[in-house]
Amino acid sequence: MIEFLRSFHPLIIEGMGGYDKREPQVVSSTILDGLRKYWLERPPAKSLLLVTQGDPYEERGISAITRLVSDELDIPRALIFLDPYIADYHRPSADRYNLIFEIPFSSMSRWLEEHSPNIMAQISEQVSVSLAAKNALRSQEQKPFLPQHFFDFAMLQEVTKIACKQICGGVTIAHTSQEISPFSVTSFFEVGLTLGFIGEEDIISFSDKMLRDSPS
């Protein structure tokens, strides 16, 4: 499946789950507008593939938004999932709408390590550093530490993006909001940037102005 993935240009959308109260149609339209403008300057050299990371379907939030984007662009989707020994509920719960193939996290990690020795240790260390900093901030605010599974899902998020970029020769990353909570899994996007494996030019910023200007 890694070789199959190589024939696509991956699109990865990151954002809030079902607790996102915004209308997914409005959010997806804003993302699509940004994607079309972005690709005018940086057109993908391969067919598009929307890569998802195991979110179960909900009527709002990231899973609803990715379905709408996939439909509007008329592109298939792929799933990168946590292996059962990490989270046995992850793959069975994942939304499989318009899915054409699935790849376990372990396969993506193994490919990265084979082609860039020690890279997994670098990603893991930086995720741990970021998690410790977030927990220190939460402690100052008298909030409980983030659950341990944040580490696993932050690793899934960053390994997926970094591996997709290296395997496919490029990646497009879009966020579903301009303001990202420092205590969300999405906020770990800084890990790939800090390590230099993801560039600012790979990420499309979400425009709250465009969202406000959209008809309700």
pLDDT by residue (tens digit) across 6-62? 999 999 999 999 999 999 999 999 999 999 999 999 999 999 999 999 999 999 999
Rounded to an integer, what distance in angstroms lies between the CA atom of residue 185 and that of residue 153?
A: 7
Is-contact 187 181, C-beta < 8 A? yes
Residue 215 has pLDDT above 90, yes or no: no
pTM recorded for the entire structure: 0.93
Number of structural domains found in the chain: 1
C-alpha span between 106 and 156 (Å, rounded): 10
The set of residues, in sequence order, having a beta carbon less than 8 Å from that of 190 and lying 6+ positions away, is 130
DSSP letter assigned to residue 118: T
Residue 182: give its domain's CATH number.
Answer: 3.40.50
Q: Where are the beta strands (DSSP E) in the chain?
A: 8-14, 47-52, 77-81, 99-104, 172-175, 203-204
Give the integer Cα–Cα distance in Å for 168 and 67.
22
**CA dist 126 to 108, 130, 150, 211, Å?**
18, 6, 13, 33
Range(s) of the domain holding residue 100: 2-213
CA contacts within 13 A on the Cβ side of 130: 26
CA 146 vs. chain centroid, Å, equals 19
Exposed / middle / buried, residue 213 (Cβ in 10 Å: 0-12, 13-18, 19+):
exposed
pLDDT in tens, 114-173: 999 999 999 999 999 999 999 999 999 999 999 999 999 999 999 999 999 999 999 999
Residue type, 130: S
**At CA 49, angle to CA 112 and CA 185, rounded to 5?**
60
Band (216; pLDDT cuts 50, 70, 90): very low
Q: Which residues 6+ apart lie within 8 Å of 53 measured at CB?
A: 12, 79, 80, 81, 153, 156, 157, 160
